[in-house]
Amino acid sequence: MAGISVHNRLIRNSSSTAKARKAAEAPAAQAPQDQVRLSSSSSAPSKAVPNFGTWSAGPRQLPPGSYDAGTISKEQLAGLKKSKNPQERALGETIERARKNYAELMQNGSRIIANRNEGNGGSPVLTILPPGFDPSKETRVHTHYHGFTPTVADPKGHAARTTEQIAELQKKQPQTVMVLPETSNAQDGNYSTQWTNVKSQAETTNQALRDAGVTNPTYRVVSAHSAGGEALRKSIANVPEGKGLQADRLELLDSLYGSQDAISEWSRTANGRDLKSLVYVHGTNNTNNDAGLRKAFGNRYRRVEAKGHYEANHQMDRFPD
């Protein structure tokens, strides 16, 4: 499968303890033996990341600038929210929303990693590891761009129902890791979502996985609801040859407000040709906005009808891999 892949996977044996000690003493310029590399088809180079094998003695230490929403200290959170850097303040606000609105997820065993993400223009990204996540098993990765007024951590009862769907999805597919990029101007209540921060969905997802220590991704879903389609358009436009967008399945959830032409053109790129399926869930978009997509993707294309605009988002990740 093209896109995110794992190279030089660790093969452990009975002498792993001695090898780990030897690796720890190796020069800093050498990557320890318990590290792997994630390939990236974006413009950024791949980076070595700790394999989950290093978690044997407990949760891995997060890289600088990453925070566990469930364990961040009051002092750390206050420091972010009072920072002179507006992106640090936004990160603090995002973590605060996650602590409040994803409290039940965390109580049930989910781990939520938050950080600023280069592929997302320095704006926050949440990565949600599901309860009982087994790093030795194959991992599904779902990256979702929200619509016009939600955030990456809305309370239950929001019309988009993203919070409820994450819990349902991770119960149904226990090895699903959610990657939730945030806008540059996210705030509580109604606001005009601006995806001006987006640089590359591919690198956003890759960095989120690196920072959370997820090293065995095997199937990728990318979805966009409503104005989130603009994030896909920018990802295609910002990286040569359409390499800023990577997916095995692409879900367009009533998001055709101009992005459809760029996605149709993307079908001719290597990443577009590697796409296994494209699902368009039609709610209130103009009826024929998907004509170009149908032609571009042929038998990989599927259209589904929804009762309304937010109801389209309720169809997120309800299709077979």
Phi-psi region of 254 (alpha: psi -120 to 50; beta: other; left: phi over 0): left
Q: Is residue 304 part of a domain?
A: yes
Task: Kindly list the distances between the CA atom of residue 159 and the CA atoms of 147, 152, 154, 315, in Å, as whole numbers in the listed order.
Answer: 11, 13, 10, 13
Q: Is residue 143 part of a domain?
A: yes
Q: At what angle do helices 229-238 and 201-212 cross, to 10 degrees?
A: 100
Over residues 233-249, the pLDDT tens digits come to: 999 999 999 999 999 99
Evaluate if residue 178 carries a pLDDT over 80: yes
Tell me which residue range forms the domain holding 201.
Answer: 60-313
pLDDT of residue 135: 76
Supply the CATH number for residue 288's domain.
Answer: 3.40.50.1820
pLDDT of residue 60: 63
CA distance 197 to 178: 20
Q: Is residue 87 part of a domain?
A: yes
Q: Is residue 149 part of a domain?
A: yes
Evaluate if residue 258 carries a pLDDT over 70: yes
Q: Tally the domains of the chain.
A: 1
Q: What is the mean pLDDT of residues 87-104?
A: 97
Over residues 15-36, the pLDDT tens digits come to: 444 444 444 444 333 333 233 3
Poorest-pLDDT segment among 19-28, 37-46, 93-102, 244-253: 37-46
Q: Is residue 21 part of a domain?
A: no
Give the length of the chain: 321
Over residues 146-169, the pLDDT tens digits come to: 999 999 999 999 999 999 999 999
Evaluate if residue 113 carries a pLDDT over 90: yes
Q: Would strands 176-181 and 124-129 be described as parallel, antiparallel, or unpaired?
A: antiparallel
pLDDT band of residue 77 (cuts 50, 70, 90) is very high
Residue 112, Cβ density class (10 Å: 0-12 exposed, 13-18 middle, ≥19 buried): buried
CA distance 216 to 267: 26
Over residues 5-20, the pLDDT tens digits come to: 333 333 333 344 444 4
Q: Is residue 318 part of a domain?
A: no
pLDDT band of residue 122 (cuts 50, 70, 90) is very high
Q: Both ends of the chain: CA-CA distance in Å?
A: 13
DSSP H or E run through 286: none
Strand partners, 10: none
In whole numbers, what is the pLDDT of the chain averaged over residues? 85
Evaluate if residue 232 carries a pLDDT over 80: yes
The pTM is what? Answer: 0.83
Q: Is residue 40 part of a domain?
A: no
Please name the amino acid found at residue 56. Answer: S
